[in-house]
Chains A and B, each alone.
Chain A
Amino acid sequence: RKEVEQDPGPFNVPEGATVAFNCTYSNSASQSFFWYRQDCRKEPKLLMSVYSSGNEDGRFTAQLNRASQYISLLIRDSKLSDSATYLCVASSGGYQKVTFGTGTKLQVIP
Chain B
Amino acid sequence: DVKVTQSSRYLVKRTGEKVFLECVQDMDHENMFWYRQDPGLGLRLIYFSYDVKMKEKGDIPEGYSVSREKKERFSLILESASTNQTSMYLCASSPGDTGGFTDTQYFGPGTRLTVL
Interface residues of A (CB under 8 A from B): 4, 31-32, 34, 42-46, 49, 87, 91, 93-98, 100-103
Contacts and interface: CB of A to CB of B under 8 A. Distances in A.
Nearest to A45: B107
Contacts of A95: 31, 33, 45, 48, 50, 56, 58, 102
Given A46-B105, A95-B102, A100 B43 contact: yes
A32 B104 CA distance: 10
Interface in B15-68: 31, 33, 40-45, 48, 50, 56, 58-59
Interface of B is mostly: loop
Nearest to B101: A32
Given A96-B48, A102-B41, 15 more contacts: A34-B102, A42-B110, A43-B107, A43-B109, A43-B110, A44-B90, A91-B101, A95-B48, A95-B56, A96-B56, A96-B59, A98-B102, A100-B43, A101-B42, A103-B42
Contacts of B44: 100
Contacts of A93: 100-102
A102 B39 CA distance: 8
Chain B, interface size: which category? 20 to 34
Contacts of B59: 96
Nearest to B33: A95
